[in-house]
Amino acid sequence: MNGMTIAQKLNEATAKLTEVGIENARLDAEVLLAYVLNTRRLALYVHIARDLEEAQIVRYDKLIARRLEHIPVAYLTGHKEFMGMNFAVTNDVLIPRQDTEVLAQGVIEHLQEYSGDLKLADIGTGSGAICISILKYIDRITAAAVDISRNALDVAEFNAEKFNVSDRINFYEGNLLEPLNGQKFDVIVSNPPYIPSGKFKTLQPEISFEPHGALDGGTDGLDFYKQIIDTAPEFLNDKGFIVFEVGIDQSEPVIELLKANGSFGAIQIWKDLANIDRVVAAWKK
């Protein structure tokens, strides 16, 4: 086989990925090659004219073939960066999104105003990215992380160990707030499934590789907000607050649900980098 340099291989892979409509083809080609070479992405450019070894080419070609089937990069590498931390992911969990950092950062900022030890609940924790990153940034928090999927909890527990916060998290397998009956929290966070059931056909093919149960929010996408808001007040301490990630056009209906509940006073919307309403936060009256 003819030798191939890093530069040539990246160009070849980028062209193939572009052809099947993958948006960030060059970035994906680089991330996957860095993964095969066990190096950082930018380090590829230091050795851009170096020949790849045969075994490296074979491994890389296999990964590119899978990416061409639209399997998300994070499932191929088993990792996704969130809040500057490299979380383990498998196809049992939603891949943490950059937009969700708005939620984690906002909660960290607001919790600075509270003194003493704090308790957080994360409903539908998935990989644990939200909960674990908040705990990593604030020492005096303990957390309850709930998920209905045992396999997702295994991933979250692995991440809690990885980031040395397992002694501050209890994991619960179950539906929404149910396993936490009798407990009270200063903050409840949730990035629930919120995509309207009828919308999946219009989404990127990558989404079909993620757990459907982590994405499908019922006919109007609001099923889980309704259920959580219904019982949340009894789980919140005085001055406690609840923070939801919301999908496009969902901030208003979620605010309506919070107002209709009657237990919430102040409500805020936090925007993402694209200036879209991404998070709704509400304080108990």
- Number of residues that this document lists for the chain: 285
Whole-number Å distance between alpha carbons of 266 and 83: 27
- Is 236 one of the binding residues for ligand GLN (CB under 6 A)? no
Specify the residue, 133 or 191, whose C-beta has the smaller distance to ligand GLN: 191
Binding span for ligand GLN by CB under 6 A among 111-119, 134-142, 191-199, 269-277? 191-199
Which tokens go with 115?
A: 């003194």
| Complex with ligand GLN: residue 33 or 152, whichever CB lies closer | 152
Tell me the closest approach of the beta carbon of residue 224 to ligand GLN, in angstroms.
9
CA distances, 230 to each of 7, 149, 284 (Å): 56, 22, 13
Number of residues that bind ligand GLN (CB under 6 A): 9
Pick between residue 172 and residue 224 the one whose CB is nearest to ligand GLN: 224
Interface pick for ligand GLN out of 191, 242, 254, 270 (rule CB under 6 A): 191
Binding residues for ligand GLN restricted to 8-47, rule: CB under 6 A: none
Q: Does position 258 bind ligand GLN by CB under 6 A? A: no
SS (H, E, C) 12-57: HHHHHHHHCCCCCHHHHHHHHHHHHCCCCHHHHHHHCCCECCHHHH
- Residue with tokens 């005085």, as numbered in its chain: 238
Which of residues 137, 194, 241, 283 is near ligand GLN by CB under 6 A?
Answer: 194
What order do you get walking across the sheet with 264-271 strand by strand? 169-173, 141-147, 118-123, 185-190, 236-245, 277-284, 264-271
Closest CB to ligand GLN among residues 137, 194: 194
Tell me how far apart the alpha carbons of residues 277 and 248 are, in angstroms, rounded to a whole number. 7
Please say whether the beta carbons of 143 and 185 come within 8 A: no
Stretch that binds ligand GLN, among 72-80, 109-117, 166-174, 193-201 (CB under 6 A): 193-201
Is residue 279 part of the contact set for ligand GLN (CB under 6 A)?
A: no
Q: Which stretch binds ligand GLN (CB under 6 A): 110-118, 147-155, 187-195, 261-269?
A: 187-195
Note whether 97 binds ligand GLN by CB under 6 A.
yes
Q: Is 195 in the site for ligand GLN (CB under 6 A)?
A: yes
Asked if 193 touches ligand GLN (CB under 6 A), the answer is yes
Strand partners, 264: 284
Binding status of residue 215 toward ligand GLN by CB under 6 A: yes
Q: How big is the CA angle at 108 (ends 104 and 110), to the nearest 5 degrees?
A: 115
| Residues of this chain that bind ligand GLN (CB under 6 A) | 97, 191-195, 207, 215, 245
